[in-house]
Amino acid sequence: MFRSVARSAAGKSLLRRGYATAVPERKVAVLGAAGGIGQPLALLMKLNPLVSQLALYDIANTPGVAADVSHINSRSEVAGYVGEEQLGKALEGCDVVIIPAGVPRKPGMTRDDLFNINAGIVKGLCSAIAKYCPNALVNMISNPVNSTVPIAAEVFKKAGTYDERKLFGVTTLDVVRAKTFYAGKAKVNVADVNVPVVGGHAGITILPLFSQATPKANLPEEDIKALTKRTQDGGTEVVEAKAGKGSATLSMAYAGAIFADACLKGLNGVPDVVECSFVQSTVTELPFFASKVRLGKNGVEEVLGLGPLSEYEKEGLESLKPELKSSIEKGIKFANQN
């Protein structure tokens, strides 16, 4: 998946024979790196040759994870940081900060049921980001994403560091699922499939736009409805299968690595890097919304519109707005009250 890069003894990146331009130094931090998502995500980021420094932070167990991952013979230097007093060092100089810190769901819970614990965790971590690496791109994985992204925005606004181009709710797993489920139903090669997923990241706020899926398959309406429901319930499908042992970790680490790689490519000036993400938006009347986003040297270069929607998708869009609005407002209120 990732190309490899030659290194000098000092650990600095060199031009690999055959490559026309140098690969810049990039520091990436994973906050919550010892968790179910954090560990495989640390592995995948260690395999990414665009990363030169990998900082693994958690409130416990990061030294072991960092020692383990650091033995892999790929470009980045790895360091583990544990406990709040080491958070600043983990964040200093970061280009991208990925946040999978916080509790996951158990069967019967909604993502919003995680708010009480995760809102405080995210708020604390974002305060530290504002202090130690205010220019970093922030990839928010912690749920409920529909509220944690607005919390992060408010924390950054209060600190005077908010740049709406640099804050992303990671909704890539919804896209990954939509692609997989569509390929299965349409009987097309999954590697060729593209499906935008818009809205938010919880239940009906997840709106896959199968009318825009490629390759075209002209699936009947009942198949589109079933695919939409399965994509919306994908997280719950995993939570139930894990039966109390957490939620999606491996597929999420994959999705998180895809999204972070896209951010790094954008920072490095690779043209036409487009991914769906939950960002500050004027695509609808809601202040945050997931849609296709073009990534560039400063983060979001362009928030792309929705494109033509089917009648079913138009209905889905109207139905998701009240829930998404209230989750966004809940996050904003929390950040300003606490």
Binding residues for NAD(+), by number, are 32-38, 58, 118, 141-143, 252
Q: Which residue in the shown chain puts its C-beta closest to ligand NAD?
A: 35
CA distance 92 to 160: 18
Catalytic residue at 71?
A: no
208 forms part of the interface with ligand NAD (CB under 6 A): no
Question: In which residue are the tokens 């040759």 written?
Answer: 49
In angstroms, the Cα distances linking 294 to 31, 142, 266, 275 are: 25, 23, 8, 7
Q: For strand 197-199 and strand 53-58, is the pairing parallel, antiparallel, or unpaired?
A: unpaired
CA distance 102 to 189: 35
Residues constituting the chain = 338
41 forms part of the interface with ligand LMR (CB under 6 A): no
Among 53, 143, 172, 291, binds ligand LMR (CB under 6 A): 143
Strand partners, 295: 273, 300
Among 118, 212, 232, 247, binds ligand LMR (CB under 6 A): 247
- Per the annotation, binding residues for substrate are 105, 111, 143, 177
Among 173, 209, 262, 276, binds ligand LMR (CB under 6 A): 173
3-state secondary structure at position 137 = strand
Among 74, 118, 139, 281, binds ligand NAD (CB under 6 A): 118
Residue 37 sits at the vertex; the CA angle it makes with 32 and 39, to the nearest 5 degrees, is 75
Query: Pattern 100-119, binding to ligand LMR, x per CB under 6 A?
Result: ----xx-----x--------
Nearest to 247 by CA among 71, 83, 110: 110
58 forms part of the interface with ligand NAD (CB under 6 A): yes
Which residues form the catalytic set? 201
Where along the sequence are the contacts to ligand NAD (CB under 6 A)? 31-32, 34-38, 58-60, 100-105, 114, 118, 121, 124-125, 141-143, 145, 170, 173, 201, 246-249, 252
